Amino acid sequence: MGLLDNKVAIVTGAASGIGKAAAELFRREGAIVVATDAMEADGVSIVDAGSESEVEALVERALAEHGGIDIVFANAGISGGMAGIFEQSADDWQEILRVNLIGPFLAIKYAAPHMKARGGGSIVCTASVAGLRAGAGGAAYSASKAGLISLVKVAATQLAGANVRVNAICPGLIETGMTAPMYEWARSTGRESKIGRLNPMKRGGQPDEIAAVALFLASDAASYVNGQAIAVDGGLSASHPFSIQDYGRTSA
d(CA 233, CA 169): 10
Which residue among 141, 183, 224, 247 is the active-site one?
A: 141
Are the C-beta atoms of residues 17 and 178 closer than 8 Å to each other?
yes
Give, in words, the CATH class of 8-173+208-229: alpha beta
Of 93-97, 164-168, 239-243, the range with the lowest mean pLDDT is: 239-243
**203 pLDDT tier (thresholds 50, 70, 90):** confident
Question: What's the chain's average pLDDT?
Answer: 90
Q: Is the pLDDT of residue 222 over 50?
A: yes
Of the candidates 108, 102, 120, 94, the residue with the CA atom closest to the CA atom of residue 223: 120
Domain assignments of the chain as residue spans, ordered by start: 8-173+208-229
Percent of the chain whose pLDDT exceeds 70 = 86
Q: Is the pLDDT of residue 112 over 90?
A: yes
Residues whose CB falls within 8 Å of the CB of residue 165, separated by 6 or more in sequence, listed in order: 120, 121, 122, 123, 156, 217, 222, 223, 225, 226, 227
141 catalytic residue (yes or no): yes
* pLDDT value at residue 247: 46
* pLDDT value at residue 204: 83
Q: Is the pLDDT of residue 231 over 90?
A: yes
* pLDDT value at residue 137: 85
* pLDDT value at residue 59: 98
Rg (CA), the chain: 18
Helix axes 52-66, 103-118, angle to 10 degrees: 30
Are the C-beta atoms of residues 182 and 242 closer than 8 Å to each other?
no
Q: Is the pLDDT of residue 243 over 60?
A: no
**251 pLDDT tier (thresholds 50, 70, 90):** low
Provide the phi-psi class of 174: left if phi over 0, else alpha when psi is between -120 and 50, else beta: beta
d(CA 252, CA 246): 14
